[in-house]
A and B are shown apart, each in its own frame.
Chain A
Amino acid sequence: MSRTVLESLNSGLLEALGSSPDVLLLGEDILDPYGGAFKVTKGCSTKYPQQVITTPISEAGLAGLASGLALRGLRPVVEVMFGDFITLMADQLVNHIAKFRWMYNDTVNLPLVIRTPMGGRRGYGPAHSQTLEKLFMGIPGLTVVSPNHLLPEGSIEPGEQLKRLILETSEPVLFVENKLQYLLPLLTQTGLSEFDVHERYAAEDEKRLFPIRTLEVAGAPKPVCTIAAYGYMSELCLDAVKKLAYDHEIFCRLVIPTRLAPFHTDSIEESVLETGRLVIVEEGTLTMGWGAELTARVAEILGARLEKVGRVGAKDTPVPAAATLEQQTLPQVDTIVDAVLRLAGKNG
């Protein structure tokens, strides 16, 4: 049985703690035997008791505390129990953490990783199921990362990416996990044998921390639609790509960035130059989302060469608790398939 994203992240944290005494893990309910609400921190406090600090329920204060630790040379990593609670940190993230390095004229470093699970499909209801990272993607100075479990040969897995960010970043990182992604097995080349998988890095990503992956059905004709997605949505898109290929003979290329901000759209643009069509998939509400910005950027660069564009996101309502309502609210494989069919189907 392949390891899961959760196990990978857990190893990454343990390895980061073991690599340097400057790494501190802070968060609510992260001590063993509980090991965090989603168990990502399990074993950390047992193995590294001096480096793991359980905190009061004080998200705003915790973000500030971590920023102070980072400004004075340590490497804190913070767990926020639910992504929804990131709003409690907004002043710290926007007015302090994201600003310090720049407003102090690049005289300080702020090596800080804040990781948190977003996403629904667990029936947790309106204030425990949101996908809110879009609120922080347009904040200069803040890097937003979404790890991915679809791994070409030799690629870095989610835990390795987390570990390297903790140990190597000099800037604040919002590391966005996803509750359902935790349970997914890491899909390496064997698990992805139906696909041609490629990986690249942006030129400015000198440390090669943020792989950008592309997948398409192996041996298929030239793709006619590009699908952009990240995090758990990439898993749904993988199913959609298969369904489109086998049921509809429509072939797509899936592009998966792992760094969401600052924006880097080269890979998506290059793919759209071949396909002319772009469907962007996100779990957050559609309005003012990742897809909106991505669409604008790709359209600005490609002009009419972007022939058609579609977006798939959550309905613009809170996420309901009831499983049936939640399913109607959040993107599903079928909604992605439908969106591609609208652009690239017989009538597209």
Chain B
Amino acid sequence: MTDSELVLYRAMLRIRRFEETILEQFKRGLFSGTTHTSLGQEANAVGVISQSLPDNVIVTNHRCHGHYLAYGGDMRALFAELMGRSTGICGGRGGSQHIHWRNLYSNGVQGGIVPIAAGMALAEKRKGKDISVTVFIGDGTFGEGVIYEAFNFASLWQLPLLIVVENNHIAQTTPSELALAGSIKKRFEAFGIPAVELDTSDVMEIAGEASQLYAEIHENISPRALILNTRRFGPHSKGDDTRSGEEVARMRLERDPLSILESRLPAHDVAEVVSQVEEEVRIAFDLALADPPALFPERGS
């Protein structure tokens, strides 16, 4: 198991260091627009996507960097996209939250992408392909009505769809107790979608559950939901955190997916991975920085 744990550790660290670099460099003005980092939530992206079959479809949201990197996306291309470089994933058109690479699609508007994921799952089911679709949403997305239309489609037509809820208990600055009535799990169950709920930042636990759910989805061709209670260490976007420093410090102490896994890994392996990832992030960043800015072709050329 240690080899696999080390692989997952590396995957999570890549996301951690990428996101930290973004926040650091935003202050230096090297990025424009906005960003939403998945600091603290790395185990969700890595735990789930590591268990997804290579041809599966991943649909994600405004907080998509972790999903993209866990899916195997090129780090330089993501840096470049955020810097507005022509080498960006979408040539600078999409920015932080509107990206598409291979079978990964994101859009930054809450909820609207969920029926689209259902449509993709219907397409794959009709084509008879052994492909499922995974859509990542957050607790805040539960305020959007269109997701319930999509849940109904998914159950009604038994679509190969995994809905992953990253419940970080805060939507931008609004705590979920001010926005969410009842239970997320029961909302899925009301539609006849079996749902599993975890409260962990241990990537191995998440990967184990995801693996089981994918087996069921591909075997029975039917939807499942995975609710991951998680913690967001960073601000919603760049500097808009309204939570106390103590609260965030406690989360970091108790729910850091990297520390949790690190405690089970040999120190020299961790050190090696840390230095390799440092190098990878530095090179990716420098290459993106040197890339040409995105420009539309001049009229007439």
B194 contacts A by Cβ under 8 Å: no
Given known A-B contacts A68-B122, A105-B93, A61 and B98 have beta carbons under 8 A apart: no
Contact-size category for A = 20 to 34
Q: Contact: A96 with B123, CB < 8 Å? A: no
Q: Contact: A105 with B91, CB < 8 Å? A: yes
Q: Contact: B118 with A68, CB < 8 Å? A: yes
Of the candidates B100, B115, B152, the one whose C-beta lies within 8 Å of that of A68 is B115
How close is A58's CB to chain B, nearest CB, in angstroms? 4
Of the candidates B91, B100, B114, B156, the one whose C-beta lies within 8 Å of that of A64 is B114
Q: Contact: A72 with B120, CB < 8 Å? A: yes
How close is B86's CB to chain A, nearest CB, in angstroms? 10
Q: What chain B residues lie within 8 Å of A73 (beta carbons)?
A: 123, 127
B126 contacts A by Cβ under 8 Å: yes
Within 8 A of B (CB), among A73-107: 73-74, 76, 91-92, 95-96, 99-100, 102-105, 107
Of the candidates B57, B89, B105, B123, the one whose C-beta lies within 8 Å of that of A69 is B123
A187 contacts B by Cβ under 8 Å: no
How close is B192's CB to chain A, nearest CB, in angstroms? 14
In the complex, the 9 A-B pairs of residues with the closest C-beta atoms, listed nearest first: A68-B119, A64-B115, A61-B149, A72-B123, A58-B149, A104-B100, A65-B119, A68-B120, A68-B116
Q: In this complex, what residue of B is CB-closest to A76?
A: B119
Which label, helix, strand, loop or mixed, suits the secondary structure of the A interface? helix
When each residue 258-294 of chain A gets 1 if its CB lies under 8 Å from chain B and 0 otherwise, what string results? Answer: 0000000000000000000000000000000000000
Within 8 A of A (CB), among B122-150: 122-124, 126-127, 145-146, 149-150
Q: Contact: A64 with B112, CB < 8 Å? A: yes
Given known A-B contacts A96-B116, A105-B90, A64 and B123 have beta carbons under 8 A apart: no
B107 contacts A by Cβ under 8 Å: yes
How close is B254's CB to chain A, nearest CB, in angstroms? 37
B295 contacts A by Cβ under 8 Å: no
Q: What chain B residues lie within 8 Å of A24 (beta carbons)?
A: 126
A interface residues with partner B (beta carbon < 8 Å):
24, 55-56, 58, 60-74, 76, 91-92, 95-96, 99-100, 102-105, 107-108
Given known A-B contacts A56-B156, A58-B153, A61-B150, A74 and B116 have beta carbons under 8 A apart: no
How many angstroms from the CA of A55 to the CA of B122 in the assembled complex? 13
Q: What chain A residues lie within 8 Å of B120 (beta carbons)?
A: 68-69, 71-72
B109 contacts A by Cβ under 8 Å: yes
